[in-house]
């Protein structure tokens, strides 16, 4: 069983941590919570003890006579992952300078597991020179991974940067870190990913398309961010990415032509490109700029082939670049693998993920997936049915094996 220790500082964003604790406990992850004295002014220890089904600790527990090993040592050694959320300006300063004046900060210094921290404070406070210096200082420690604050309306009615990341974003980081042990092996790398199903328009309201939602490509982009990479996502829909330590950009491309242009523009800068989008194979020669009346719609559409984006990228690939494709196939395992191997060779890829889409658990729009990764050198590895985020991490592990 995975052990997640959560440290809560005194900020209004403490209420968001209730959802995180509850979600983790429901997934069978053992959670324990430490609250600073000021954190108890926002949410009670009883709330977290109830949600986690475990004791919630405060400074009152820290200063009690010990009947065994010191509490901060026990908690530090118990944790597989330590989440600090929210991190206030006060706690950030303590982290930056290694201070230990309460149970939370003593436990931080006594631990050696990966640390996630999510700051939250008023915009003016966040932008203070001293706070930004402390932020940068903490990030110099390789054990710490930041979940950066976001823009929005704050509790004080100010609008700007300072909102703690939403629970679903933090939960995805936790899932990634429990899978990888907090690896930051993509730091310094630029990862380019495309996602979603393209639409080839007949007129402004009708198109030829496919059921792809882009979930797998977006999960790959998030996994790369969690592992420290700079990421560019070219998606058929606007898909916000978490703010990691490296920059992340999203470009929207609805049609194959738009996606082709965007990928060609970004490809020269990428170390690893993963083409997870379901790009159309054909498009209508008819493309009206006005909605056509039903009576004007041709019963027999004249179609033309769409240029192959991945094959074009492969023809431009440098020796230091890695290009990975996806093969969404139907049929039994043997048919899926055979089709993927043919695409791997024909398109000149470094690796391909063979993915059966004729399954309720691995088809378009599902939250789970399964794939067989095939390298051009013949190395092959299959995954179990798992979350799309886990499959993304398994793909990055495969590429580096």
Give me the residue label for tokens 């809560």: 8
**Cβ 222 vs Cβ 241: under 8 Å:** yes
Q: How far is 259 from 74, CA to CA, in rounded Å?
A: 52
For residue 309, say whether it is annotated as part of any ligand binding site. Answer: yes
Q: Find all residues with CB under 8 Å of 327, minimum gap 6, and list them.
A: 336, 339, 340, 343, 344, 352, 353, 354, 355
Is 347 known as a binding-site position?
yes
DSSP string, 66-116: PSSS-HHHHHHHH-SEEEEEEEPHHHHHHHHHT---SHHHHHHHH--S-EE
Q: Is 322 annotated as a binding residue?
A: no
The DSSP secondary structure of 242-311, one letter per residue, reads: ---SS-EEEEE--SHHHHHHHHHHHGGG-SEEEE--B--SEEES---SSPPPGGGS-SS--EEEPP-HHH
Within a 13 Å sphere around the CA of 231, how many CA atoms are in the beta-carbon half? 30
Catalytic residue among 18, 113, 156, 386: 156
User: Is 183 annotated as a binding-site member?
Assistant: no
The tokens describing 243, both together, are: 């703010």
Q: Name the nearest CA neighbour of 315 among 271, 348, 280.
A: 348
Signed CA dihedral, 340, 343, 345, 347: sign only: negative
φ, ψ at 221 (rounded to 5°): -60, -45
Contact partners, residue 52, CB within 8 Å, separation at least 6: 21, 24, 25, 31, 32, 33
Phi/psi at 56 (5° precision): -110, 130
Catalytic status, residue 156 = yes
Residue 4 marked as a ligand binder:
no
Give the closest residue to 374 by CA, choosing from 388, 400, 353: 353
Asked whether residue 281 is marked as a ligand-binding residue, the answer is yes
Known binding residue 326? Answer is yes
Nearest to 397, CA basis, from 381, 384, 378, 386:
381
Question: Helices marked H in 98-196 — which ranges?
Answer: 103-110, 123-126, 129-139, 167-180
Residue 332 known to bind ligand:
no
Q: Is 376 annotated as a binding residue?
A: no
List binding-site positions: 281, 291, 307-310, 326, 343, 347
Q: Which residues are catalytic?
A: 156
Annotated binding site for CTP: 281, 291, 307-310, 326, 343, 347
């Amino acid at each position: 069983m995975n052990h997640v220790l959560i440290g809560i500082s005194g900020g209004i964003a403490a209420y968001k941590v209730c959802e995180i604790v509850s979600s983790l406990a429901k997934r069978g992850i053992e959670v324990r919570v430490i609250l600073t004295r000021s954190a108890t002014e926002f949410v009670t220890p009883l709330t977290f003890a109830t949600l986690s089904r475990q004791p919630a600790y405060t400074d009152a527990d820290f200063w009690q006579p010990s009947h065994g090993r010191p509490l901060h040592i026990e908690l530090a050694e118990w944790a597989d992952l330590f989440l600090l959320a929210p991190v206030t300006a006060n706690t950030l300063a303590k982290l930056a300078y290694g201070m230990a004046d309460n149970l939370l900060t003593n436990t931080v210094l006594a631990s050696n597991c990966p640390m996630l921290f999510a700051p939250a404070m008023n915009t003016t406070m966040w932008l203070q020179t001293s706070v930004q210096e402390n932020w940068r200082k903490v990030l110099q420690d390789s054990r710490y991974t930041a979940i950066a604050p976001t823009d929005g309306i704050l509790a004080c009615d100010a609008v700007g940067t300072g909102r703690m990341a939403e629970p679903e974003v933090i939960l995805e980081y936790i899932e990634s870190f429990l899978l990888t042990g907090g690896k930051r092996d993509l730091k310094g790398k630029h990862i380019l990913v495309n996602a979603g199903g393209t639409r080839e328009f007949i007129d402004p309201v009708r198109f030829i398309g496919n059921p792809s939602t882009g979930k797998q490509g977006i999960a790959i982009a998030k996994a790369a961010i969690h592992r420290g990479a700079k990421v560019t996502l070219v998606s058929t829909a606007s898909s916000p990415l978490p703010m990691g330590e490296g920059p992340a950009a999203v470009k929207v491309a609805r049609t194959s032509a738009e996606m082709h242009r965007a990928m060609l523009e970004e490809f020269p800068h990428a170390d690893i490109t993963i083409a997870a989008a379901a790009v159309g194979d054909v498009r209508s020669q008819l493309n009206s700029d006005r909605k056509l009346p039903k009576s004007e719609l041709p019963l027999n559409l004249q179609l033309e082939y769409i240029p192959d984006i991945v094959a074009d990228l492969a023809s431009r690939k440098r020796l230091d670049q890695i290009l990975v494709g996806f093969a969404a196939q139907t049929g039994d395992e043997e048919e899926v693998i055979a089709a993927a191997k043919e695409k791997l060779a024909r398109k000149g890829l470094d690796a391909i993920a063979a993915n059966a889409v004729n399954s309720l658990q691995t088809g378009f729009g599902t939250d789970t997936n399964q794939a067989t990764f095939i390298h051009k050198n013949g190395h092959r590895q299959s995954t179990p049915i798992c979350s799309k985020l886990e499959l993304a991490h398994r793909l990055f592990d495969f590429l580096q094996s």
